[in-house]
């Protein structure tokens, strides 16, 4: 399917001076660019009205389906400014595929993957001046909501797909610092047959109570256990997790009830390229404690689009604390992080053709 985007530049653009001031310290997800990409769907027209226009509020009826039955999905990816001034997208095809899969699970209209990528690229082109230099990037948030006006329980017949953009600085000031995580024993994130593998807002809303519990215990993040036996490590509130062992191998929880992270998949491929064994297997919290105590486990780290890789320095729970690698960042995690970031910014070879150059 091919759609032609109607490009409507804003009549009130941010001045160069104001934009420079915002880019000096953008934080994360607080500053937004001038435009957004929008495509609409209805059962009678299909996907239509593709456009790039001024970023603005959506008019939503109080009975819009998203407000009552939570038909909503989203993605997260970044645009990176290369040293030569060109702009890279990292694996947008993987985001488009995951968005398609999420829509299927949530009984929503499935956006053709080429339209997803075109919407992202059109927004990057028109708001290119908002991409920070250095270790900054332009965070892109494609999302879709159900906007049919009704109160019956059924899949919506109308949807709005949009992409907004937010310039972000380096996630870590002074380099990645090890994080502490809290083991949630009161809450679970997903069960077999549920929406754990879907990037929908409800999954994140359900994690917030556990995240608040983690913060109350002095931790940066929460890690969830499986919903059936409450034994096996699944993922953090918003990141996948890896374990590095003394023999050089890595393991990560298997897919099914966790999000198929694109950073996760990239790390698996890069580690295997380097000759490391990577297992996708169940790993219990008790085994994590025992392996850390014996020295078999050398590192643990979380990964995701925003931070890329975050070393895990301490695991806390009601059963006591476990320190990983003396609470320091480990060489395997940091080596993989550098390799991945260098590919994203065009500073290293791209052996898997992950980079899409936006002209």
Structure confidence by residue, pLDDT tens digits, 100-157 = 999 999 999 999 999 999 999 999 999 999 999 888 999 999 999 999 999 999 999 9
Rounded average pLDDT over 314-322? 94
Query: What is the predicted pLDDT for the residue at 215?
Result: 96
Share of the chain above pLDDT 90, in %: 94
Rounded average pLDDT over 317-337? 95
Q: Which CATH architecture best describes the domain 179-344?
A: Alpha-Beta Barrel (3.20)
Model-level pTM?
0.96
**Among candidate residues 343, 256, 257, 272, the one with its CA nearest the CA of residue 308:** 343
Residue 187 tokens, joined: 């809450």
* 199-202 long-range contacts, CB within 8 A, separation 24+: 199/73, 199/74, 199/75, 199/76, 199/98, 199/99, 199/102, 199/259, 200/70, 200/72, 200/73, 200/74, 200/102, 200/106, 201/70, 201/72, 201/73, 201/74, 202/70, 202/72
The answer on pLDDT for 234 being more than 80 is yes
Query: What is the predicted pLDDT for the residue at 35?
Result: 98
Buried b (16+ CB within 10 A) or exposed e, 110-121: ebbbebbbbbbb
Show the CA angle centred on residue 61, arms to residues 59 and 66, nearest 5°: 95
Question: Can you name the CATH fold of 6-168?
Answer: D-amino Acid Aminotransferase; Chain A, domain 1 (3.30.470)
Tens-digit pLDDT profile for residues 56-106: 999 999 999 999 999 999 999 999 999 999 999 999 999 999 999 999 999
Query: What is the predicted pLDDT for the residue at 177?
Result: 86
d(CA 202, CA 183): 21
Which residue intervals of the chain are DSSP H helices? 16-24, 65-69, 92-105, 113-126, 201-216, 262-273, 285-294, 331-344
Rounded average pLDDT over 212-216? 96
Q: How many CB atoms sit inside 10 A of residue 193's CB?
A: 8
Rounded average pLDDT over 276-294? 97
**Among candidate residues 237, 309, 248, 253, the one with its CA nearest the CA of residue 275:** 248
Residue 21 tokens, joined: 């001031």
Query: What is the predicted pLDDT for the residue at 303?
Result: 97
d(CA 254, CA 204): 20
- Domain boundary assignment for the chain: 6-168, 179-344
Tens-digit pLDDT profile for residues 153-208: 999 999 999 999 999 987 655 568 899 999 999 999 999 999 999 999 999 999 99
Residue 204 tokens, joined: 């994140």
Query: What is the predicted pLDDT for the residue at 227?
Result: 96
- Beta-strand pair 308-317/320-323: antiparallel
Rounded average pLDDT over 43-49? 97
Query: What is the predicted pLDDT for the residue at 217?
Result: 96
Instruction: Convert 274-323 into a string of H (helix), E (strand) and C (coil).
Output: CCCCEEECCCEHHHHHHHHHHCCEEEEEEEECCCEEEEEEEEEECCEEEE
Query: What is the predicted pLDDT for the residue at 173?
Result: 54
Determine contact, residues 45/36, Cβ cutoff 8 Å.
Answer: no
Residue 263 tokens, joined: 């950073």
């Amino acid at each position: 399917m091919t759609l032609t985007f109607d490009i409507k530049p804003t009549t009130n653009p941010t001045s160069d001076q104001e934009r420079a001031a915002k880019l000096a310290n953008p934080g994360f997800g607080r500053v937004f660019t001038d435009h957004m990409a929008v495509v609409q769907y209805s059962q009678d027209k299909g996907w239509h009205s593709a456009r790039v226009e001024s970023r603005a509020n959506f008019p939503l009826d109080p009975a819009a389906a998203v407000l009552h039955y939570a038909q909503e999905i989203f993605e997260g990816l970044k645009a990176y400014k290369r040293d030569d001034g060109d702009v890279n997208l990292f694996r947008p095809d993987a985001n488009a595929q995951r968005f398609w899969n999420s829509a299927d699970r949530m009984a929503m209209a499935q956006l053709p993957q080429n339209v997803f990528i075109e919407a992202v690229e059109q927004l990057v082109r028109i708001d290119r001046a908002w991409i920070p230099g250095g270790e900054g990037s332009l965070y892109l948030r494609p999302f879709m909501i159900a906007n049919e006006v009704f109160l019956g329980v059924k899949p919506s017949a109308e949807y709005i797909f949009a992409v907004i953009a937010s310039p972000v600085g380096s996630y870590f000031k002074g380099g990645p610092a090890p994080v502490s995580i809290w083991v949630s024993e009161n809450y679970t994130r997903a069960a077999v047959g549920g929406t754990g593998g879907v990037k929908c807002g409800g999954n994140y809303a359900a994690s917030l109570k556990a995240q608040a519990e983690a913060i109350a215990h002095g931790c940066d993040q929460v890690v969830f256990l499986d919903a059936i036996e409450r034994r096996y490590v699944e993922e953090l509130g918003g990141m996948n997790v890896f374990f590095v062992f003394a023999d050089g191998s890595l393991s990560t929880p298997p897919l099914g009830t966790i999000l198929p992270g694109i950073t996760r998949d990239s790390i698996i491929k890069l580690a295997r390229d380097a000759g490391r064994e990577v297992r996708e297997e169940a790993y219990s919290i008790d085994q994590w404690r025992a392996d850390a105590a014996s020295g078999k486990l050398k590192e643990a780290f979380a990964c995701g689009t925003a931070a890329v890789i975050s070393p895990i320095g301490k695991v806390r729970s009601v059963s006591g604390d476990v320190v990983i690698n003396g609470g320091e960042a480990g060489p395997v995690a940091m080596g993989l992080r550098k390799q991945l970031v260098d590919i994203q910014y065009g500073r290293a070879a791209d052996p898997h053709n992950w980079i899409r150059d936006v002209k």
